[in-house]
Structure 1
Amino acid sequence: MDGMSLHDPLFATYVVAASLMILKAVAMSWLTVFRMVRAQGGYRSPEDIRKTPLNPAPDPAQLLPNEGVERIRRIQMNDVENLPYFLVAGFLYVLTQPSLLLAQWLLYGYVASRLLHFLAYFTAQIHDIRATLWTIGSLILVFMTVRTLLAALGA
């Protein structure tokens, strides 16, 4: 790699995968807000139940947990726990100059596993399905990290 550039297909693959994951994580914030507004509840802070144009009839019950809102928060928390590892591991892995095809399988495979994990969580699928999809993404991260570590030790 002469330098990181979007003209380099390997780096561009990483940028696409990373961008998709960042957009997905940001979308969770918007989805949380959408669900809170629709439910008029699931708020977290006392100031959220002050009378405003968006909340003309505040009620202390609006601070109670709302399962629809909490489900999105759990999905978002899962992203917060996993996305940083992917962003760093994927970037470092690309620096090892793997084959483009392998990098595409790994990086896009991670994206696919996380999107499918979101769908499974969002639609309240059984834990085994979510765990399997999470494991696929986790194993991809482990593989890329170990390969990166071995490349660095061999340098």
Structure 2
Amino acid sequence: MVSIDLSNPAVQSYILYSGILGLKLLSVTVLTTRVRMAKKVFANEEDAKKTKGKVKYDDPDVERVRRAHLNDLENIPAFWVLGALYLTTSPAAAWATLLFRVYTVGRVLHTIVYAVKPLPQPARGIAFGIPYLITLYMGVKVVMHYISAFSYILYSAILTLKLLSVTMLTSRVRYSKKVFANEEDAKAVKGKIKFDDPDVEKVRRSHLNDLENIPAFWLLGALYLTTSPWPVIATLLFRVYTAFRILYTIVYAIIPLPHPARSIAFGIPYVINVYMGVQVILHYLSAL
């Protein structure tokens, strides 16, 4: 049984920087609101009427902040999961603290050079890339540590790395077609601004589907373990869930296949999540 000692400096560092990142993520919501109010452009009619503004879905300044926010949502939860799992591998406290610190600074800088004070590339690329490499490093260390266990921790790490990999897949498609969402990216490679490229949007929808489903697995899988499930069944569920989420991305964004391929690849993990959730509710029903 893995235990986490709250007196461990690495654990305390993780808690501190996770808290900072949580507040940083929430602050971008306020930044989006500030830009909307300053330009009087809104996504809802009731907001526009209240301030005598207008409904507009494609304001470039608002969309830039929203993309920065989405980038946080795509990356910071992965840090929370991988950072916590990484602590279970007993890393050196000084090294773990350095990773957490650099990751946090990088994510804060990413928002600054993206949405607050936009700078030309490679400023944003560096601010994104260093934290990204840190999460990859932690994920690989977790996988290598638990490779023989076939456990919840192992599959959670694999799913997190898989989620992060789709970010790179999106970038690869953008650069291969030279279509971007930000002017500084387009200028760097003499590309163009385009928000509706079908190939890019297909990968982005695949990524969004990951963000809609994999965090639910992280939570429900952990809660399911507290119900003392039969280890063979639990391991099978985790293994099948992971395999089909990977397959989902393949048949959706890499080698698109006709239905019902994607429906099956989506449906089986979905049913597993529902099953675990129901088991948790039934186990703790008397606590209502």
Q: CA deviation at 1:44?
A: 1.4
Deviations 1:100-128 (A, max 9, x none): 10001111111111111112112111132
CA–CA distance in 2 between the matches of 1:26 and 1:140?
Answer: 22
The reply to whether residue 65 of structure 1 matches residue 65 of structure 2 is: no
CA–CA distance in 1 between the matches of 2:235 and 2:280?
Answer: 16
Match of 1:30 in 2: 168
Provide structure 2 residue ranges, at least 5 long, that are not aligned to the other structure.
5-87, 90-148
Match of 1:49 in 2: 186
Q: CA deviation at 1:35?
A: 1.4
**Which protein has greater RCO, CA pairs closer than 8 Å, 6+ apart?**
1
Amino acid at match of 1:30: M
Match of 1:17 in 2: 155
Match of 1:147 in 2: 279
CA–CA distance in 1 between the matches of 2:3 and 2:153?
Answer: 14
Amino acid at match of 2:221: G
Deviations 1:7-51 (A, max 9, x none): xxxx9711111111100000000111111112211x11334333x
Match of 2:224 in 1: 93
Match of 2:264 in 1: 132
Q: CA deviation at 1:67?
A: 2.5
Match of 1:116 in 2: 247
Match of 2:115 in 1: none
Q: Is the 8 A contact 1:89 1:145 kept in 2?
A: yes
Q: Quick one: percent identity of the two aligned structures?
A: 28
Deviations 1:41-87 (A, max 9, x none): 1x11334333x3xx1x344xx42533322221111011011111111
Q: Which protein has the larger Cα radius of gyration, Structure 1 or Structure 2?
A: 2
Provide structure 1 residue ranges, at least 5 long, that are not aligned to the other structure.
none
CA–CA distance in 2 between the matches of 1:131 and 1:2?
Answer: 36
CA–CA distance in 2 between the matches of 1:65 and 1:89?
Answer: 34
The structure-2 alpha-carbon separation of the partners of 1:128 and 1:144, relative to structure 1 and needing over 3 Å to count, comes to same
Matched length? 146
Question: Following TM superposition, where does structure 1 have runs of at least 4 consecutive aligned residues deviating by more than 6 angstroms?
Answer: none
The reply to whether residue 80 of structure 1 matches residue 211 of structure 2 is: yes
Aligned-pair Cα RMSD in Å: 2.5
TM-score between the two structures when normalised by the length of structure 1? 0.82
CA–CA distance in 2 between the matches of 1:102 and 1:19?
Answer: 19
